[in-house]
Structure 1
Amino acid sequence: MTEFSAFRVHEQDGEVRGALEPVVLESLSAGEVVIRAAWSSVNYKDALAATGKGRIIRQFPRIAGIDVAGTVHSSDDSRFRPGDAVLVTGYDFGVDHDGGYAEYCRVPAEWVVPLPDGLGLREAMILGTAGLTAAICIQRMETNGQAPHQGSIVVTGASGGVGSFAIDMLAGLGYRVTALTGKDSEHDYLKSLGAADILDRTSLDTGSKPMEKALWAGAVDNVGGEILTWLTRTTQPWGNITAVGLAGGTELKTTVMPFILRGVALLGVTSSGCPTALRHRLWQRLATDLKPRHLERIVSREVELADLPQVFDDMLAGKTSGRTLVKIAGE
């Protein structure tokens, strides 16, 4: 195979920098399946990894990108044949293993998910890690007894990828959803996804008591820090909080009282370590009952590999909403 383009991240003298450069297949991380990439996407984790703002990538150089969808180019595993439509998200993809910001990717067969019926390659990357993460949140809450009749679910960091999908999916399942956001400009967008109520984060009184008035039957939290602390104080008895993000801080200053007096459950969510069997089931759900009704509305931007540095800067500066798609070959 001749050279092809990839967005590769280097570290030199403590500075992390990514750029588009030519690579060859033999230089990629090992794996049984070679994928011709069609689409990828940009997640907050990608921005942290490619800029060095977060210690995500541990060994350099590394092709970034934690998501990809495309077709099998070649396979040493009998489960996959050339031309099969597939996707990869999570595991060590784009972190300790060369990722999806390249025209070709090579990955272990166990990481590869057949594209479910009902999803196209582009749709799969509108969803990507963000959609899978939102699906895990809902699955964990449902497993722990969450149901629409119990009351409103609040989604924090609502205008981001995970937040947008969580609102759309939960509303589609019949939940009343409250969106918490600090972006006034996004109110109409969030309502169009299914949010029944909007809370302004900038004017929020988070209180100081170990337990405040119980407001929420459950929560999907993309922020962490003080907001997550507030959620533990304000979730109803037997409610579930799924913790996804840390943009608002990594510390959690709470007490055991909400957990032992109200029976509140705090459920951690990570998509990178999602068990393979559950991952496959959730992608089937993402093509059926959890498929967002407003997929295209959640796409805010479509870019190419060369545009990634500007996208990363915008994302880290809080200037993005919804999902950014990366067109590599298209469909």
Structure 2
Amino acid sequence: MGYRVAVVGATGAVGREILKTLHEREFPVDDIVALASPRSTGREVSFGDRTLKVQNLETFDFTGWDVGLFSPGASVSAIHGPRAAKAGCIVIDNTSQFRMEPDVPLVVPEVNPNDLKKAKRGIIANPNCSTIQMVVALKPLHDLFTLKRVIVATYQAVAGAGTDGMHELEQQTKGTFVGDPPVIEQFQKQIAFNCIPQIDRFMDDGATKEEWKMAVETKKILDPDVSVIATCVRVPVFIGHSEAIVAEFEEPVDLARAREALREAEGVVLLDKHEDGGYVTPIECVGEDATYVSRLRLDPTVPNGLAFWCVSDNLRKGAALNAVQIAETMIALDLLPKRH
């Protein structure tokens, strides 16, 4: 017997990726349901060779369901996440709704799996996509040299804004070649052939909320003593986030030891050849589970500094895969009991 799994937000880009990931990883599913808003009710989504009819989240009864993988938007999770948890369904939420609540674990399984034991409310939060890949890459280095400070510039794909963001890039790109003026709806400026140094709204200190998320989430997941400053940029890439990371450590950095730690780290692939093309780009990580690290080198401008390039599929490790891995880890830790 397996588990009864509810996928919430099943018609969105992340929801569809969750269904795909569950099937590919042969998650022990006994029963599965696809849920979304009333306007999506009746639509069809794929789960392996099965077709699921989407049911109405607003009227769905979570009683008897083991785990809910949520990606419907923060305001929807705020309503239905606690409702599902109250019914006994373990909620793994991809939105920002619960991430910084002190009694909700914020988990990347390769980094802080034991925090799952603190899920007293029956809700676990999935971190921001840009945070996930960064902490996966930093964890083995932190264990070796004790991380002190991080400066990161991100190059984030439009898939982070959902299917509408991907559609806008596609339409603007086509329009450029036929002279059509760009239709700007999902982003602050034209995204085709452009870079936009704003993701989410501005905060009082001049940082955007995306940049704030990377700082506070890293502290909660990895170490509260780590300082992070981020500049988050939307770029005209469909899928795959990239990050240029400069890390400063408490202890001297040995490059050979750093390389070995990254080679052995769970979830990390080190591909770093000092030659033309000897690195991974976002288009090459699409559909892959790993966080790729390249361009590893010492930073001579600060004591104990290390710089590197990091890419990952933001729909997989940045969202769907991490959520499914949380559920798998809960099974391994005997935190997700079967009730049937």
TM over 0.5: no
TM-score, normalised to structure 1, is 0.32
